[in-house]
């Protein structure tokens, strides 16, 4: 895979409710698209149960391999929200209620006439050295500690937090892709595609079968940071499969 | 977490197209629900790029930790279908075209009047010692090697293969769950829930915020293999939050 200064990323979903099948994760797909657009390559996703040791181990592993780690879930006010503790332990940081986070929550609950009780104050527990991530939806902030970006699991909040974080991250030349829809099964075009991939190592060529209205075919996707190379291989594909479109 | 003889499982999604944001994964949610119903606990999911070494490492790690590993994707006829090779290497098995798999493909392509060419024959490459998994959709089989169940990524095929595999796997007493919809924010109910969770370690109590029609509230989910315990804690929840429903 080419990697011309394209930063890498992983995602960690803290998700009993996803692993039990109760909820369908939506944040992975959103993050994948947003990072691709921003020139950061998402290389791995893990979903782990709400168990402290599992979360700590995954944070340690992923934050040491990839340039960025984005986490989703487990930063609310209830007893099963344990992500901040796990991040602090994994990164060797002290965790306590922080005045800046408390002030944000206090202002929010004052406005809404609700009490900043002990449970809500849990959401002001932020590791020393972390930068807060703005939460325009429900105030309780996420945070960035080192290369770990800790965000809420509720999709609308996850997306708002990501929109705040992404502009501060340096992306590489974005990965460009084009695709061709070929009305032939993968087995018919595999040999030609394999040769094409071998002859053009500067692009990655993927093939994804589809079935629709009884017909089956293949979506061939050409990806590279080099737009001219994508154009060239796409032209070659169209020549090889003139019936496609 | 309780684990009365409830087998554990992990899932590995081989998925450049998912990590790039091009496709939204559907198999994770399907597998999560199916395993929960069958009494197998899905404890971890990983999505890795189509890179041989990454796939091998993930298979080794996950198959050694959990009772079962289900893989999704990368078993078609094209050059980017490399899952069978990775599974064989990870499990130390020899990989070659197998007569039983070839016979299935030959019969399928004979029926449809297509040629069993070299690319399609790649789909008959099955590790020694593996049991074939039936593919009623498009013939090319998956396989089970040790505790690793290798299945296609196309959702209709993944689901059909899983339906064939699951009955052969011993499940534990299934995880039972009930939920209560409380029209109060998590911050208002967190202290009570925390006490309830502490007093009832035989169940797991999760809380998931929702926002709908301008109102926000919490779905409280109680899970256990012990149905009487779930009933008891649910009754307590209804007593604590009489306005819920």
Q: Please state whether the predicted TM-score (pTM) of the whole model is above 0.80.
A: yes
Structural domains in chain B, CATH included, are: 8-168 (3.40.980.10), 176-240 (3.30.70)
B122 phi, psi to nearest 5 deg: -55, -30
The CA-based angle A225-A228-A232, given to 5 degrees, is 120
pLDDT tens-place string over residues B143-167: 999 999 999 999 999 999 999 999 9
Question: What CA–CA distance (Å, rounded) separates A118 from A102?
Answer: 11
The whole-number pLDDT of residue B223 equals: 93
- Joined together, the tokens standing for residue A85 give 């503790």
Query: Which whole-number Å values give the CA distances from B168 to A177, A203, B42, in the listed order?
Result: 42, 42, 17
Question: What CA–CA distance (Å, rounded) separates B11 from B66?
Answer: 10
Cβ contacts of residue A209 below 8 Å, gap of 6+?
A185, A186, A216, A217, A218, A219, B76, B154
Question: What CA–CA distance (Å, rounded) separates B165 from B135?
Answer: 11
Residue of chain B whose Cα is closest to the Cα of A185: B77
A227 phi, psi to nearest 5 deg: -60, -35
pLDDT tens-place string over residues B166-222: 999 998 888 889 999 999 989 999 999 999 999 999 999 999 888 777 778 899 999
For residue A25, list chain B residues with Cβ-Cβ distance below 8 A.
28-29
3-state SS string for A124-185 = HEEECCCEEECCCCCCCCEEEECCEEEECCCHHHHHHHHHHHHHHCCCCCCCEEEEEEECCC
| From A46, A120, A175, residue closest to B44, measured CB to CB | A46
Q: Are strands B8-14 and B41-48 parallel, antiparallel or unpaired?
A: parallel
| From B123, B191, B221, residue closest to A22, measured CB to CB | B221
Q: How many CB pairs under 8 A join A and B?
A: 189
pLDDT band for position B3 (cuts 50, 70, 90): very low
pLDDT band for position B245 (cuts 50, 70, 90): low
The whole-number pLDDT of residue B1 equals: 43
pLDDT at A245 over 70: no
pLDDT band for position B131 (cuts 50, 70, 90): very high
pLDDT band for position B49 (cuts 50, 70, 90): very high
pLDDT at B233 over 70: yes
A14, A72, A79, A139: best to mutate for the B interface, most B CBs within 10 A: A79
Using the beta-carbon criterion (under 8 Å), do B48 and A43 form an inter-chain contact? yes
- Joined together, the tokens standing for residue B205 give 């109590």
| From A45, A79, A188, residue closest to B46, measured CB to CB | A45
- Joined together, the tokens standing for residue A103 give 């002030």
pLDDT tens-place string over residues A157-209: 999 999 999 999 988 888 899 999 999 989 999 999 999 999 999 999 999 88
Looking at chain A, how many residues does it have? 245
Give me the half-sphere count of Cα atoms (radius 13 Å) on the Cβ side of residue B89: 12
- Joined together, the tokens standing for residue B119 give 């690319």
Q: Per 3-state DSSP, what percentage of chain A is helix, strand, and coil (rounded to 5)?
A: 40, 25, 35
| Average pLDDT rounded to a whole number, residues A41-67 | 97
């Amino acid at each position: 895979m080419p990697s011309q200064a394209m930063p890498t990323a992983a995602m960690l979903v803290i998700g009993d409710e996803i692993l039990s099948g109760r909820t369908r994760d939506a944040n992975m797909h959103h993050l994948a698209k947003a990072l691709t657009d921003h020139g950061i390559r998402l290389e791995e996703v893990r979903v782990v149960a709400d168990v402290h040791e599992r979360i700590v181990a995954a944070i340690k592993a992923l934050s040491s391999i990839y340039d960025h780690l984005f986490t989703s879930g487990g930063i609310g006010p209830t007893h099963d929200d344990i992500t901040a503790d796990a991040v602090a332990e994994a990164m060797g940081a002290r965790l306590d209620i922080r005045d800046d986070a408390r002030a944000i929550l206090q202002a929010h609950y004052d406005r809404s006439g609700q009490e900043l009780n002990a449970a809500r104050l849990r959401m002001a527990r932020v590791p020393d050295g972390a930068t807060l991530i703005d939460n325009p939806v429900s105030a309780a902030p996420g945070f960035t500690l080192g290369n770990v970006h800790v965000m809420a699991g509720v999709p609308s909040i996850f997306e708002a937090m990501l929109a705040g974080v992404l502009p501060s991250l340096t992306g590489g030349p974005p990965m460009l892709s084009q695709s061709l829809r070929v009305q032939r099964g993968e087995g018919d075009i595999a040999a030609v595609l394999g040769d094409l991939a071998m002859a053009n190592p500067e692009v990655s060529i993927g093939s994804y079968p589809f079935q629709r209205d009884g017909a089956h075919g293949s979506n061939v996707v050409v990806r590279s940071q080099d737009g001219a190379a994508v154009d060239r291989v796409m032209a070659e594909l169209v020549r090889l499969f003139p019936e496609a479109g």
